[in-house]
């Protein structure tokens, strides 16, 4: 079941804010930053984009917006070397508040934060963000530059 990771940028992507989640991670036993992410379940989700949208609703309480897949590989990429998880990164441009968000899993303790692009860039180098989210953010910056040009 490949995880789907959704990076979220508000309406003016290059000068705006990014929605992050901060949640408890069992391995480091700490609150860690990340992008909304979760697993694709064929009985629950129509496709990977559907999984990304569901996680966006459940974890960040956001809905709608333009969803763009960041990589061309159909099966995603290996998450880490010691498990079979693969992940598929997405960027969501312009989501809005979800008035009826999906229910979070019982074990999830999540804080939602909007951060500036500058603060996100600092977090990417801080060691306080999950690796798939770091990778997704860098690919999102690349995608944004291709579609919107370099920030001024």
pLDDT in tens, 46-96: 998 998 999 999 999 999 998 999 999 888 888 888 888 888 999 998 888
Whole-model pTM: value is 0.86
Structure tokens belonging to residue 55: 């996680």
CA 28, CA 8: separation in Å to the nearest integer?
25
For position 149, what pLDDT does the model report? 79
Residue 61 CA, chain-centre distance (Å), reads 13
For residue 9, the cross-strand partners are 18, 93
Say whether pLDDT at 32 is over 50.
Answer: yes
Among left, alpha and beta (phi > 0; psi -120 to 50; other), residue 94 is left
Q: Which residue has the higher pLDDT, 4 or 138?
A: 138
> Which residue is it, tokens 């992050």?
20
For position 107, what pLDDT does the model report? 78
């Amino acid at each position: 079941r490949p995880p789907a990771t959704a990076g979220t940028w508000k309406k003016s992507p290059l000068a705006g804010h990014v929605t992050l989640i901060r949640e408890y991670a069992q391995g480091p036993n700490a609150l860690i930053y990340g992008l909304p992410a979760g697993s694709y379940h064929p009985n629950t989700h129509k496709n990977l984009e559907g999984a990304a949208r569901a996680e966006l609703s459940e974890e960040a309480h956001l809905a709608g917006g333009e969803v763009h897949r960041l990589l061309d590989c159909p099966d995603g990429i290996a998450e880490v070397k010691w498990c079979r998880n693969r992940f598929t990164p997405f960027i969501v441009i312009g989501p809005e508040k979800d008035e009826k968000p999906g229910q979070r899993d019982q074990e999830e303790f999540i804080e939602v934060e909007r951060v500036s692009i500058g603060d996100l860039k600092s977090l990417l180098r801080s060691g306080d963000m999950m690796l798939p989210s770091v990778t997704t953010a860098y690919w999102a910056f690349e995608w944004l530059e291709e579609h919107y040009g370099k920030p001024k």
